[in-house]
Homo-oligomer: A and B are copies of this chain.
Amino acid sequence: MLTITRLDQQDARRLIEGAEAHSRSIGVPMCIAITDESGHLLAFSRMDGGKITSTTIAIDKAFTAAAARKPTHEYGTASQPGAPAWGISSAIGGRLMVVGGGLPVEHDGQVIGGIGVSSGSPAQDQSVAQAGIDHWLAARP
């Protein structure tokens, strides 16, 4: 048997809290999704003004980052024309996201969940996801 560490609901809220604060500071309302390490949704917030399409995209960015244990922007690089993972962006019914804004959440070198952000530019989305993680890390004892 394996022993797995996983985000709980308090972690999930802390991640969303940090992401929302940064989202407000840059003036871009976001969709923010938190998944467990298996890619299943734990918590979600579509801030007032977040895009409808970003509902699914944020969830799928978090899913990808957690379940593939890789930031989504790294898949963006790896899936360029001629690169080894070319075409991966349509895998899993299109759920495998290669656009920046999805980050794995790690603890003791293990992926224990994912955060996915969407509605701004990919760079903005990624900075908001990182802010969620930074806030969560700062709150840990």
Contacts and interface: CB of A to CB of B under 8 A. Distances in A.
Stoichiometry, as copies per complex, reads 4
Contact of A99 (B3, B87, B100): B87
Contacts of A51: 67-69
Q: Counting chain B CB atoms within 10 Å of each CB, which of A7, A40, A51, A97 scores highest?
A: A40
Interface residues of A, number: 64
Given A8-B1, A45-B9, A60 B91 contact: yes
A46 interface: yes
Contacts of A46: 9, 40-43
Interface in A1-53: 1-9, 11-12, 36, 38-48, 51-53
5 contacts: A9-B46, A40-B46, A43-B46, A53-B63, A91-B94
